């Protein structure tokens, strides 16, 4: 009798363990946490910050480039560093997509951060977390808001070139298309307008805004600004000529991006439509143009939300040794 009881309690225990394990594997049991490397790599955050600071010191634009990398990573299969993989065997790199080709930059800085972290604590800090931290540090270095970065993302075992082509909004997308692409990632209108404020820093190539200069629909473009742009971006040639996304303070993270939109001086069509195509988004543009503190607050919240898009946790994915290839 005693042994039957024992048998049942062992079975019950095994059942409880199995149920617990299945929850753990589902991923929800591993929420991201800002203390994730507290024991395994206590200096991780300092190391990321110092390499980013050196890189931005060498070239201020790098802050913008690193911020953008996190966005382009998270919109494709979640924040899993799929963006960083080079083409190899069955992997077709996302770096070759419409949004990234000849445009996404900063990969060498990510390599530099990863190399420093591998020396400090090998096989511990994921490339996906490096992207999230570098985006935050870049924002702060450029004068923007600070936030606590939740950590514990793991790195993907593959990339999605088609996901990169389809999910990342293009500068000539309609506002409706952009809203839909954000919705698919669980991001709402407030997130969209706040995150677009990332265009307060950085540069764009002529090829990303030429169309709107010559398509006859220049009504929303301030005349003097249009002339300035046309001189830098002729009807043909000069594809790679660069122009600041925020002409007022291109290297400073502030709310002048929104003031520019109100003045008809948004660089990309996708920027200007936030002010011209919907009462809801234009109200937010006005709000952020008037209140830089509110913009900072909403930007930080939206970055945290974006950084939470479908992370790999638990035993999913891996911690890459080199961000450019799977182990
Ligand atoms: C809303 C939809 C968005 C569209 C259509 C868009 C499009 C673009 C385009 C076309 C460029 C210029 C690329 C080039 O010509 O090389 C650019 C640059 C940039 N984007 Fe976006 N973007 C969007 C949202 C975002 C978000 C959410 C962030 C970050 C929170 C962001 C951050 C940046 C930064 C910082 C740059 C400058 C990068 C550099 O100078 O290297 N963008 N974006």
Instruction: Say how many Å lie between the CA of residue 25 and the centre of ligand 1.
Output: 35
Around ligand 1, the residues with Cβ closer than 6 Å are: 61, 64-65, 67-68, 71, 103, 105, 169-171, 178, 195-196, 198-199, 201-205, 208, 245, 268, 270
Q: Provide the residue ranges of all domains of the chain, joining segments of one domain with +.
A: 44-168, 187-306
- Check the CA dihedral 46-50-53-55 and report its sign: negative
> Which atom belonging to ligand 1 lies closest to the Cα atom of 106?
41
Q: Single out the residue of 229, 230, 227 nearest to residue 245, CA to CA.
A: 229
* Residues contacting residue 130 through CB under 8 Å, at least 6 positions apart: 48, 81, 110, 113, 114, 117, 323
Q: Looking at the domain 44-168, which fold is it?
A: Peroxidase; domain 1 (1.10.520)
CB 190 within 8 A of CB 284: yes
Q: Single out the residue of 80, 108, 109 nearest to residue 94, CA to CA.
A: 80
310 has pLDDT over 80: yes
218 has pLDDT over 90: no
CB 285 within 8 A of CB 265: no
pLDDT in tens, 86-100: 999 999 999 999 999
> Which atom belonging to ligand 1 lies closest to the Cα atom of 169?
5
181 has pLDDT over 90: yes
Task: Enter the tokens of residue 324.
Answer: 């450019």
> Which atom belonging to ligand 1 lies closest to the Cα atom of 242?
15
Q: Which residue has the tokens 């994921």?
A: 126
Instruction: Say how many Å lie between the CA of residue 68 and the centre of ligand 1.
Output: 6
pLDDT of residue 318: 98
Please pick, among 72, 199, 217, 298, the residue that the annotation labels catalytic.
72
4 has pLDDT over 90: no
Pocket test for ligand 1, best of 63, 198, 257 (most atoms within 8 A of CB): 198
Separation between Cα atoms, residue 309 and residue 305, nearest integer Å:
7
215 has pLDDT over 90: no
pLDDT in tens, 110-159: 999 999 999 999 999 999 999 999 999 999 999 999 999 999 999 999 99
pLDDT of residue 10: 53
Secondary structure of the chain as H, E, C letters: CHHHHHHHHHHHHHHHHHHHHHHHHCCCCCCCECCCCCCCCCCHHHHHHHHHHHHHHHCCCHHHHHHHHHHHHHCCCCCCCHHHCCCECCECCHHHCCCCCCCCCCHHHHHHHHHHHHHHCCCCCCHHHHHHHHHHHHHHHCCCCCCCCCECCEECCCCCHHHHHHHCCCCCCCHHHHHHHHHCCCCCHHHHHHHHHHHHCCEEEHHHCHHHHHCCCCCCCCHHHHHHHHHHCCCCCCCCCEEECCCCCCCCCCCHHHHHHHCCCCCCHHHHHHHHCCHHHHHHHHHHHHCHHHHHHHHHHHHHHHHCCCCECCCCCECCCECCECC
Mean pLDDT of the chain: 93
Q: Which residues pair with 29 in a beta bridge?
A: none
Residue nearest to atom 29 of ligand 1 (CA): 198
pLDDT band at 23 (very low <50, low <70, confident <90, very high): very low
72 is catalytic: yes
Q: Looking at the domain 187-306, which fold is it?
A: Peroxidase; domain 2 (1.10.420)
322 has pLDDT over 80: yes
Question: Which whole-number Å values give the CA distances from 210 to 234, 276, 303, 324, in the listed order?
Answer: 8, 19, 29, 32
What is the pLDDT averaged over residues 243-259?
98
pLDDT band at 46 (very low <50, low <70, confident <90, very high): very high
């Amino acid at each position: 009798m005693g042994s039957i009881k024992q048998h049942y309690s062992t079975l019950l225990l095994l059942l409880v363990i199995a149920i617990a394990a299945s929850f753990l594997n589902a991923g929800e049991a591993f929420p991201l946490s800002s203390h994730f490397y507290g024991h395994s790599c206590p200096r991780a955050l300092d190391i990321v910050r110092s390499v980013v600071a050196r890189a931005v010191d060498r070239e201020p634009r790098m802050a913008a480039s690193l911020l953008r990398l996190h966005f382009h990573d998270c919109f494709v299969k979640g924040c899993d560093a799929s963006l960083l993989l080079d083409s190899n065997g069955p992997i077709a790199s996302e770096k070759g997509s419409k949004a990234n080709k000849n445009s996404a930059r900063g990969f060498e800085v990510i390599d530099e951060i990863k190399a420093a972290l591998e020396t400090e604590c090998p096989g511990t800090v994921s490339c996906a977390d490096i992207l999230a931290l570098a985006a935050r540090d870049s924002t702060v270095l450029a004068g923007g808001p600070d936030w606590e970065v939740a950590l514990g993302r793991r790195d993907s075992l593959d990339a999605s070139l088609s996901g990169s082509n389809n999910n990342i909004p293009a500068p000539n997308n309609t506002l409706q298309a952009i809203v839909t692409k954000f919705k698919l990632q669980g991001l709402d209108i407030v997130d969209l307008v706040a995150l677009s404020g990332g265009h307060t820093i950085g540069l764009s190539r002529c090829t990303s805004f030429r169309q709107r200069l010559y398509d006859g629909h220049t009504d929303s473009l301030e005349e003097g600004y249009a002339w300035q742009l046309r001189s830098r971006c002729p009807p043909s040639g000069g594809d790679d000529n660069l122009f600041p996304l925020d002409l007022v303070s291109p290297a400073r993270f502030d709310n002048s991006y929104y003031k520019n939109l109100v003045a008809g001086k948004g660089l990309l069509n996708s920027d200007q439509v936030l002010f011209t195509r919907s009462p809801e988004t234009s109200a937010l543009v006005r709000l952020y143009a008037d209140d830089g503190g509110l913009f900072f607050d909403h930007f930080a919240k939206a970055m945290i939300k974006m950084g939470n898009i479908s992370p790999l946790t638990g035993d999913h994915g891996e911690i890459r040794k080199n961000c450019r290839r799977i182990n």
